[in-house]
């Protein structure tokens, strides 16, 4: 069975500082990886995804994640965060043979302080 581990439950950071949210997944023959973001009182929104090809994927709001097969990691980074990035972030994986079932990590609460 797939498993996803987010290594930090909470990450506090000051505005304009860089941030990294860590995610490790269990190895699989083929795997698709996702980062979702959940703002307060809302559902999850897809932030970015890795399916194949370039190991570095980017979102429209400045986040990026790098697929590292040797370390089975998919860490999320942003060079300069804003107050509006305060949210909970979920890493998720999906095996190649499932009916689209996602396995989620435990979530990381990112709090950006002024």
Partner 1 sequence: DVKVTQSSRYLVKRTGEKVFLECVQDMDHENMFWYRQDPGLGLRLIYFSYDVKMKEKGDIPEGYSVSREKKERFSLILESASTNQTSMYLCASSGNRAANQPQHFGDGTRLSIL
Q: Under a CB-based contact definition with an 8 Å cutoff, are residues 86 and 110 in contact?
A: yes
Residues in binding contact with partner 1, number by CB under 8 A: 27
Give the Cα separation of 93 and 76 in Å (integer). Answer: 14
* 22 makes contact with partner 1 (CB under 8 A): no
In SS3 terms, 12-39 reads as EEECCCCEEECEEECCCCCEEEEEEEEC
Tell me which residues in 50-69 interact with partner 1 (CB under 8 A): 51
Return the number of the residue (9 or 68) whose C-beta is nearest partner 1. Answer: 9
**Smallest distance from partner 1 to CB 36, Å:** 8
* 78 makes contact with partner 1 (CB under 8 A): no
Return the number of the residue (9 or 61) whose C-beta is nearest partner 1. Answer: 9
Which residue ranges make up the site for partner 1 (CB under 8 A)? 6, 9, 32, 34, 36, 41-46, 49, 51, 90, 94-102, 104-107
């Amino acid at each position: 069975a797939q498993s996803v581990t987010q290594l930090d439950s909470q990450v506090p950071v000051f505005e304009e500082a860089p941030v990294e949210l860590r995610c490790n997944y269990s190895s699989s023959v083929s795997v698709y990886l996702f980062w979702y973001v959940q703002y307060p009182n809302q559902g999850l929104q897809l932030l970015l995804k890795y399916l194949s090809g370039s190991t570095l994927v980017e979102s429209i709001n400045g986040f990026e994640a790098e697929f590292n097969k040797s370390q089975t990691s998919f860490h999320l980074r942003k060079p300069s965060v804003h107050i509006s990035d305060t949210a909970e972030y979920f890493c998720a994986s999906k095996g190649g043979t499932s009916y689209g079932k996602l396995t989620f990590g435990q979530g990381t609460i990112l709090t950006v302080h002024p």
